[in-house]
Structure 1
Amino acid sequence: MSEQKTPDRSRADGAARATNPLAPLSRALLLTRLGLVSERLWRCFWPLATILFLAAGLVFLGILDWMLLEAAWALAVLVVVGAAAALLWGAIRFRWPSRQEALIRLDETLPGRPIAAILDTQVSGAQDSASVVLWQAHQDRMAARAAQAEAPAPNLRIADRDPYALRYVALLVLVTGLLFGTAWRAGTVADLMPGSGTAGLTGPTWEGWVEPPRYTGLPTLYLGDMSDDTLRVPENSRITLRFYGDVGDLTLAETVSGRTGELPSASTPEQSFSVMQAGDLTIHGTGGRSWSVEVIRDTPPRVSLAGEPDLSADGTLTLPFSASDDYGVVGGTVTISLDEEALDRRYGLATPPDARAPIELPLPLSLTGDRRLFSEVLEEEFSAHPWANMPVTYSFRADDAAGQHSQPATLQGPLTARRFFDPMAAALIEQRRDLLWARANGPRVAQILRTLSHRPEDVFPDMGNYLQLRTILKRLEAYNTAGLSPEHQEEVATALWDLALQLEEGDVGDALERMRQAQERLSQAMRDGASDEEIARLMQELREATQDYMRQLSRQAQQQNEDEDGSESRDNAIQLSQQDLQSMMDRIQELMEQGRMAEAEQALREFQQMMENMQVTQGEGGQGDSPGQQAMDGLADTLREQQGLSDQAFRDLQEQFNPNAQRGESRGNEGRDGGLGRGQSHEGGGEGGEGESPGQQGGQQQGQQQGNGGQPQTGQSQDGQGGTGDLAQRQQTLRNELQRQRDGLPLGGPEGEAARDSLDQAGRAMEGAEDALRDGDYAEAIDRQSEAMEALRDGMRALGEAMAEQQQQGQQPGGQQGQSNRQGNALDPLGRDRGGQGSDYLSRDSIGDGQAYRRAWDLLEEIRRRAGERERSESERNYLQRLLDRF
């Protein structure tokens, strides 16, 4: 039966196509037309949709809750006018799509335009049966293809009309309002007046805020949202009220401001006042409210002292305290005044004092954390103040943001400061105090200073200090004759302070003298009953001075030659190791901590005697330098080479800022050998350089090689023109040499690893300097070279400690065993060969003596420091630079 119906159905379809060829496309054609309608509606009315989406989103987000009433109305009018304009613009441009436009759109989606072919008629060959059959077959194929048509999706892209994507912004606001806003308020848009739930748009209304003081950190309260009839607000909070409607519809009654005199009318549209006391706040009228106001009082800050004044290790006064406030302390003062009632008014203090204002200091505040409750420490240096170590009264006061002050916390005690234990330094400080106490003490101070300087050989170890005191004395006597002014008083006091510091601290470049003075100060402090903190500080100074002295002995032993004549006289000398010295100092400190000062002083005297009789020890002779000593010498050469490169880089940096001078010919850049513009070695700073012939360069290089045992310095060529190439290339060569020295270190253990780590750090700094030199950044190169030199010094220090550790274990750094007692006398306390000098080598006055070498080195470092200070005059810096170049 199916086979019989197929021809009939085909004939029916053919008849339907003949009658209406577009009948199969009716559904697709309808959808296409609807798509065109949506396209044209969106293209014409997208501004209207954008305005409506944006307005609805803002309403959902609650923008009307915090906008002023006038602003809300202005926004509403703006939205209505914009929406009307957008609607009119879209209505004018909109055109309803026709059926023919839908056919064309649908036909464009099909290959070969089959719909147009179906609607076409045969023009030629209509009388030819074969042509008619062919045309009919073509129509059937096009109809079959058109039957597969699907309605195209509408094209809603309007980027050309909305280049700023405003439609998406409005849609984002709408979606955000729906998801996170209060969409339920959309029904209350008509009630735009806060505080009136029933008045509508025509009745009176009000709004108000309570603003706590800013320093409280509390939020502002909106009175329209307050459901409780009791308000608790901080003192000095600001209340602002606004009345809308006819004047007199709403009035205010309050008893919280405490205002008197002429007051604004209760019906004034805007009211503003501060809450000063508890009371009532009432708004009379339609939609009015009433509150009972409670005031949270702002209490004054509090401050208390948590201890006694103390002296820290660095000589500063420390005094702990605590402060608190309900909203936080913002400042305060510390006042220190002289306690004349507790002062012993004798000697120079018996004179009526000159007027001197109390010491005013800002209260130290906590830099981090909550300032409502904190503990801090007052740290100040008062050693040079005229009231140092005198009885004073400390007064602490804290302030809060409201301008309230705490009750002062007072403490009576000494103005704790550094004390001087050298007798002459202490005497000078006492006379300085008397001079600053009153200018009338000038003649008395001059008389005592003249007495102190009567027998200088008995009290001054250095005649330079004596000459300084005589200069101060003559100046003071001259000022006394002409009338001592405050400026002259301060000048003499400053000079006395500087001289006392020199006497107390000594010459830090002389390690032996520094150690002796540290021992004397510690002994004097124990006799004077100094505090535990002062004794601990002086004990630490003694430890550091002793270590420095041991290092100086080591350098002396390296530079002195063997002296066979004095070897027998040293056989009976006392020998000490670092461990022995450490044990003795620990014992002294233990006795002092136990309060056994007499025993501690006796142990200190024994320590002094042992240090004076200390003998350096020597290993087996004739074996040459150990591998460790050779490594130390190599690192010293590398350090000198790096210093020379740094000096030359500094000169090149100077010449960059002096374009009028030829390279290497700056007036302030004279070299040691008379040439201009060369590095510290002065043999490779330029290509010959003016003022020096190539032959002279070769002679200087040869002399330098002879001074180094015939070996050219690292980074210099052996043709006598060392370092005439690029600075970066010389830096690279020096870095490679340092790596070779690092790989060849003969020591192990923690100290050896520390030395290798320091040398690794120096290598990285050299690499950075090399890169900076290649880039022409001399300032960066100098910084990296300074880091390299500091790391090299750390590495040499660690290497010396490693060698000393192996020596204490009875083995030389090169693996040799310790020798006999007599042979050991030629080694220093670190086990290194000191060149066989006799026991009197410390008193030698040769240029190779350790003290003289150390003094020269410290002097060179001081000249370098002063030459780098930019605040000095150009002429002075040029002079210092010439000193560096020449020496």
Structure 2
Amino acid sequence: MRHLRLPVRLTRIGMLAENAVRCFWPLWTIGFLCLAPLMMGWQDILPLEVVWAFAGIGGVAFVAALIWGQRRFHMPTTTEALARVDAAMPGRPIAAVADVQAIGASDPASIAVWQAHVARMAERTKSARAIEPDLRIADRDPYGLRFIAVLFFVTALLFGSFLRVASVGDIVTGPSAAVASGPIWEGWVEPPAYTGRPSLYLNDIPEGPLQVPAGSKVTLRVYGEDGGLSLIEDVSGRGEEAIPLADGQQQFDIVYSGTLTLDGENGRRWLVTALADEPPFVTLTEPITADAMGEMSQPFRATDDYGIESGTATIELDLAAVDRVYGLTTDPDPIDPLVLDLPMPFTGDRSEFDAFLVENLSEHPLANLPVTLQLEVTDAAGQTATTAAEPLILPGRRFFQPFARAVIEQRRDLMWSRDNARRVGQILRAISHRPDDIFTSETMYLRLRTIIRRIDNTMPVGMDDEAEAEIVTALWDLAIQLEDGRLADARERLRRAQERLEEAMRNGASDAEIAELMQELREATNDYMRMLAEQAEPGDGTDQADNSENGMEMSMSDLQAMMDRIEELMQEGRMAEAQALMEELNRLMENMRVTQGEGGDGPPMPGEQSMQDLAETLRDQQDLSDDAFRDLQEGFNQGQQGQQGQQQGQQPGQQQGQQGQGQQDGQQGPGGQQDGQQGQPGQGGQLGEDGQGSGSDQGSLTERQQALRQELQRQRDGLPNLPGEAGEAARGSLDRAEGAMEGAEEALRGGDLAEAIDRQAEALDALRNGMRELGQAMAEAQTGETGQNGEQGEAAGRAVPGQRDPLGRETGNTGQMGSDQNMLGGMDINRRAAELLDEIRRRSAEQERPEVERDYLRRLLGQF
């Protein structure tokens, strides 16, 4: 059977390899273990006795392994290979074909069966394949000695040379043989490790130019007599004198470009170029940015020819740029520069990268103060690069609640200088004079009084580092509680409204109770959304919605639609569906984030620009109110200083007694009622005729207030004609805000800062109410437009639940109002619609018309 020759032959070769590996693996293991040290040149370093002992042990082990392998080696035969191929096939067809019939040889039927069986087996032999040898010897080498030997040999190949094995002949033939064969040399150039470049073997590099990094180490090893070769080089700075190379090793570093010459038999000459390490480079790529919580982000770029090792950012106070007013007038306590580690890439190339320095330094003494930022990077060679000192305001957390901002300002003054401790205590007493108007909980007031007592206790003995750190931390925690407490209170109110509504669902409340609870839920939702919006800075990117697959966008009109649907389901008695929708609303409110921006891809809603302008006016009015408060505060401080000058003759014990008496009153300053008298504006002559404090450098407060009032009037006149009661309420709130601004303007002109601040507070409240009502009117307008155009998933012609016509009637099953016919002929439809809307607005504003008619006109405006 010729088709069996190739599988059997290949199987026999595999069996030969299998037997050789199993019998001679100790032989090549010992060979690798003996050859690796010779290739590494150990024979040139170790004593001669050790080399001879190693050679003897290695030779004996090699011969023993050879004899052991020969005694166990067996040359496989063709029969054995054929039997292995046959055993791999089912039924052993090869043996079956070679068999003869033992019984039934005279029976024709039995003979026929046997012949059929032999034919079937002969056909099966055609599928014979060569059998792979089993080269695994883990059972014979359980400790993996063969792998250790291979590892040693591969290491010798990488870092050694076969030429070193030839030096063993010196041991056998003696020194005369080495002299007869002439000197032998080897050389390597090892660049600095940080470059990542491989070592160069000089024996493989021909004469000519050779470029290597500066600082590379040259190693030359010569085997032979003294004077066989001499070294001439000017790259290390040692001079160009010829240095005879003895039997041994010569090392030096390449510092300069020059020549490297091995003079003598088989010598070479290279023109070496030392590639200098370029210094690193770092720069700020964009201005610093920060979010509302004070987390700053400073992008930068760093480059180096081999890679940046480390970097730092140094932030130092820019004292010349500080506005030295109020608590900053005193000389500051020493503030050490703030040093931050720059982020470095964990993986990848560090030769060029862009990164961001992200930190939150809101609690640092330099927060919100002018500083200089300087970046410094260092490469592996120790070279550094720095950026120019960049002046900036170190970002800190933004506080929107006025009292929280005042507490943070006093905290900053205390960290600026401990000499401000008395002043900080007095101001904290002054701003907490009427706690009911400021604090939402008694806990906050008690925390403030505790801080004031701690400050007073440090006065007689002075404030140390531990006391300052404790007071500063307490002020920060109080400011955070004041700032975040408003949002937490709004969220708690929303939660209570949801719980009351869920309880009403379970108990089967009446329609009147349902309407009352739904109104409470709507008001709590509006307040919560307004708080979220106040804490969201426009365009800062901190409150942008997630772009993940699970993210979704909802407008205020969508929330209103969900609450309307809940109320409708409850009135219909479908409590289970209302409960499910209520849980969905609660989940949405928990994950709510307020976003500000373009508002999507659709057209902008009427009033969005007005909301942005009013928000800007609100911020400007808040800044103006803060400036007025600072002027009042400055007048208070100067009056206090004048009184202290008059009382310099008093004894310290008397002053402390007066302070202790003032502290017994929970709402009075250090001097009891005298503090209020000292803080009255005008006593120290600090206010001019226009109401501007002497410390103000931003223009007349009166003129700024007048400009804000005129701007608000322009914005009020430019408001869109939003329908519904919310639109009218928004206009009324803006009217009240304008009146309050006018009162503040008159108070500033008369020099009464306290009255001006009160009127400005009324203007701020009216502006916030106007913005909230304007947003509600915009949401109602969007809801009406959505119901007409069939957006938000409503199919065309499908009735929206609860939708009514202008007369208050149900719209029916179709949900359509009006006619599809063109009843205007060839007139301009848009112009005619605008004229009709203007006429309806004019008539709805006429108070002499009956209330029924004006109510009808308002419903028309609400629908169209």
TM-score (norm 2): 0.46
Q: Which has the higher contact order (CA 8 A, sep 6+)?
A: 1
TM-score (norm 1): 0.45
